[in-house]
């Protein structure tokens, strides 16, 4: 992933679950850093050094923070492209 036009976000999460069409989900434990590419692709690194690349086909995601709060992010229907 090019470093140009990439937003870097430091995270403090227990887990993050991405939701896709057909009821598919991907759970990432211990996410520490998220890089967001200009095309909406997320690249995450967890506390084990594992890298996950999440294409912009996600419909939403749910975050469980270390402070026990939960955040849900959903994309607008017209933004979703299969």
Structure tokens at 53: 């690349």
**Is the pLDDT assigned to residue 4 strictly greater than 80?**
no
Residue 19 in domain: yes
Residue 2 lies in a domain: no
Count up the domains in the chain and report the number: 1
Is position 22 within any domain? yes
pTM exceeds 0.75: yes
71, part of any domain: yes
What is the phi/psi pair of residue 12, to 5°? Answer: -140, 70
What tens digit of pLDDT does each residue of 47-69 get?
Answer: 999 999 999 999 999 999 998 88
* Residue 1 in domain: no
Domain that holds residue 29: 7-79
The predicted model gives 3-17 an average pLDDT of 90
d(CA 32, CA 49): 9
In a domain, 40, yes or no: yes
């Amino acid at each position: 992933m090019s470093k140009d036009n990439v937003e870097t976000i430091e995270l403090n999460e227990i887990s993050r679950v991405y939701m896709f069409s057909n009821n598919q989900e991907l759970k990432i434990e211990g996410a520490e850093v998220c890089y967001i590419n200009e095309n909406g692709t997320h690249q995450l690194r967890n506390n084990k050094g594992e890298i996950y690349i999440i294409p912009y086909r996600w419909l939403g995601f749910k975050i469980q923070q270390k402070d026990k709060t939960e955040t849900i992010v959903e994309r607008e229907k017209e933004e979703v492209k299969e």
